[in-house]
Structure 1
């Protein structure tokens, strides 16, 4: 009910804001006097007639009165509405224009959750992405089976049987978790792929529209300008994940045909055909500037796709709390039995009936609910909208503040919320901005300097564990002791071996 009231109030404020802007625009147009009517009215007050004949003030005044009376006699002005409206009249009109019942679908539940099933279906119907996902699963399956059977070949029927048995298509919940990770999608499945572009445009359209429906007062145009500015900076630096290198520099890209292939075998097969040779001959006839224009065209295509992906990711970050709530709801729904779902639905219906009854009634209970909640200790509110007990507040340590510098000095109250935030979107976004993977090594790290120092140490440790011929070559002495080559050389110089 709280969310419903917030949405209704925001829609009413939006109506009042738009009405105010419209009236101000009309007033400005009147004072600009583009049609000359204001000048005529002023001249009429001064006794000047429109036919430029002489006249006095009273003649012009009575002519105007006659004109107004004649107009009101022929037309019903404003359909009986007053010509001057006070603030109360606008207040009532704002709530009468409420359309929240038709703004959201049933799955969205008045803006509590997102409903992206159509976009999920569109994603599954992109053939190249589906093929890529299955191919990647097949390669991983082959590597796993080869560890057990070293003689196994990629074309062995056992590999295909295992894939048929174990491969499962992406489900809606998994897609909701990962649909902003565009860098995981192969460039082959994105370059000049019309269904993918339509999918990204639909994604942006839905997320943008959802934000406008839940927060109608947000200045979306200003947000998009910020997105565009940030994208241009990151594109110039080549710091967008998955777009560090241009498509035309890929070894599987064929410039004469402007095609990106999925594998070397497919590319070599295409290059033996007549169509490819024809394209090559046409390319050779072009001037140097025209060939440069072909390369520029491929870069423009890259930028177009990367821009859509970047903007989709930005809208995802803005609505991350709603998406997390949707995931929690769907996971809970999957774990419930039919009986539990029916019982929960009946309980929600009973709550709505009780709330309706309380709205109708005007007894002492309604007055108690309208009365401000006494909360001198500023305790958090529980599920019933009342402050939680003080002993529970102390038990969970909700009075203890934890600040995280990675999250922009955001405060978390209580140990449980602090530990949970390391896997939430705000901390993950901060780590991504630092170009550090959000792994378990960085849990409990809240300082930016400490995170960078630990990341550099982990990189040094990884470098030390890589194979080095002078250190990792094993040597054995006469007694059979195995050691590194460096240790063996040190002992030999000392005459110990």
Structure 2
């Protein structure tokens, strides 16, 4: 077993060689997008390795068990030559027990290979819509946004411009669970897209700066879209929110008609009786103010995590302004080309969403998916495409995909890729149709065992040359020598 000092030296050498390899990669400056992306991912892996080895080095320097001090003390005593020969004997014993062991110098590990060898790793990392990290694929998030109740219906192109304008979304929508789920998925996708398309970007630094600004603005009550009600200007004919507060039910109303209907409801009458039984003779202005302020404080505490998540998503969206413009231009280009040209490009035909149509209440008791016109698709079409069949995926956090087409497509989408990355398994074609974590680990171990059997074989790889210049592998050369042919 090697000593602490040798472990320190070897770790320092490894960090320096990784740094040199990263610099060598960055000096290449490839022109093609695919090569550039492959280089950046390789450098990102180098940086992760430097970070990991540096943490290990710090633990060695802490020397909590005192082994390094003991080793130095043993080399500093009058019997230092005895310690030296003991170490030399140990090294010789190792070489005696392993006489033909092949030792690969550390520098060979970081010799640069052809970038094309690493480009195949990018194939399963992006969807077809993302164009190998050039564009955003927000179609699933646009569908989720369109299914929120109480929001303005927008086209996908408009959504690309406005998905980070959270101040335009009504407060009652923001406090619902569907909006929280949509916001979490939006932030998660943007972070995952940056980690795949811009691997050298420090995402934590972007989000931390956004949270610092948010904390300052929140304390000063100046976060756009989350100002206290007293700060919100009312338009003509709007009721003061203070006048639409029910002290008995401790509930606030947005409209006068709903508030008036509530006053004659059974729940309100029962709450009023309870209030009277508790010794409150009448709802005084002071009581009304106290209860309203208590509700305001409670709501503000509940709203803060949602507003913080919006601040992070807004910062990530602004960071990707260039990519959003490129995505918008790409979508508009697709909408202008013919169906035949789309088929030549291998793309699905997309029908643009209709804007400016009069909104109407949609009757959808079966919760069918919405079509291109914003209305539920026919039930026969829903059954024809198998959208009623559920396909759960444990790797995606037990997310359920409706229909075989969506299930097959999700293996190349960000959610499944993020789940595979969390498991430490590459998202390659061999793992298609694998949805259970246990099955994924089993297949990964099988593939690793198979790769080990295909490692370096000297009898096949080593080459020998005879006096006439003919080249043979080692096995063939030794057979010919034994036969006396050469």
C-alpha separation between the residues in 1 aligned to 2:210 and 2:114?
A: 36
Equivalent residue runs for 1:408-423 within 5 Å: none
Residue aligned with 1:86, SS? helix
C-alpha separation between the residues in 2 aligned to 1:69 and 1:110?
A: 53
C-alpha separation between the residues in 2 aligned to 1:250 and 1:210?
A: 41
How far did 1:345 drift?
Answer: 5.9
Taking a change above 3 Å as real, the CA distance of residues 5 and 253 of structure 1, as seen in their structure-2 partners, is farther
- The alignment covers a number of residue pairs equal to 298
Contact 1:203 1:312 in 2 (8 A): yes
Equivalent residue runs for 1:155-304 within 5 Å: 170-191=154-175, 193-246=176-229, 250-251=241-242, 252=244, 254=246, 257=249, 259-279=251-271, 281=274, 293-304=294-305
Q: Which whole-Å deviations, capped at 9, do the CAs of 1:13-60 have from their partners, x for residues lacking one?
A: 111222222222222222221232212322332459xxxxxxx33443
Residue in structure 1 matching 2:107, options 86, 94, 102: 86
C-alpha separation between the residues in 2 aligned to 1:116 and 1:92?
A: 35
- Greater Cα shift, 277-286 or 97-106: 277-286
Structure 2 unaligned spans of 5+: 1-30, 232-239, 281-286, 348-486
Taking a change above 3 Å as real, the CA distance of residues 114 and 190 of structure 1, as seen in their structure-2 partners, is same
Residue aligned with 1:107, SS? helix
Other-structure match for 1:122? 144
How far did 1:108 drift?
Answer: 0.7
Contact 2:35 2:115 in 1 (8 A): no
Taking a change above 3 Å as real, the CA distance of residues 273 and 171 of structure 1, as seen in their structure-2 partners, is same
How far did 1:187 drift?
Answer: 1.6
Taking a change above 3 Å as real, the CA distance of residues 253 and 63 of structure 1, as seen in their structure-2 partners, is farther
Residues 1:44 and 2:74 are matched in the alignment: yes
Contact 1:246 1:302 in 2 (8 A): no
Q: Which whole-Å deviations, capped at 9, do the CAs of 1:149-169 have from their partners, x for residues lacking one?
A: xxxxxxxxxxxxxxxxxxxx5
Q: Which whole-Å deviations, capped at 9, do the CAs of 1:232-267 have from their partners, x for residues lacking one?
A: 333344443333333998344556656554532223
Contact 2:190 2:317 in 1 (8 A): yes
Residue aligned with 2:36, SS? helix
The TM-score, its normalising length taken from structure 1, stands at 0.51
Contact 1:12 1:94 in 2 (8 A): no
Equivalent residue runs for 1:146-161 within 5 Å: none
Residue aligned with 2:130, SS? coil
Q: Which whole-Å deviations, capped at 9, do the CAs of 1:443-473 have from their partners, x for residues lacking one?
A: xxxxxxxxxxxxxxxxxxxxxxxxxxxxxxx
Residues 1:306 and 2:327 are matched in the alignment: no
The TM-score, its normalising length taken from structure 2, stands at 0.52
* Aligned-CA RMSD value: 3.9
Q: Which has the higher helix share?
A: 1
Other-structure match for 1:412? none
How far did 1:279 drift?
Answer: 4.7
Other-structure match for 2:334? 333
C-alpha separation between the residues in 1 aligned to 2:155 and 2:292?
A: 44
Other-structure match for 2:80? 57
Taking a change above 3 Å as real, the CA distance of residues 27 and 6 of structure 1, as seen in their structure-2 partners, is same
Residues 1:9 and 2:39 are matched in the alignment: yes
C-alpha separation between the residues in 2 aligned to 1:243 and 1:40?
A: 61
Structure 1 unaligned spans of 5+: 49-55, 134-168, 347-497
Taking a change above 3 Å as real, the CA distance of residues 282 and 226 of structure 1, as seen in their structure-2 partners, is farther
C-alpha separation between the residues in 2 aligned to 1:175 and 1:240?
A: 22
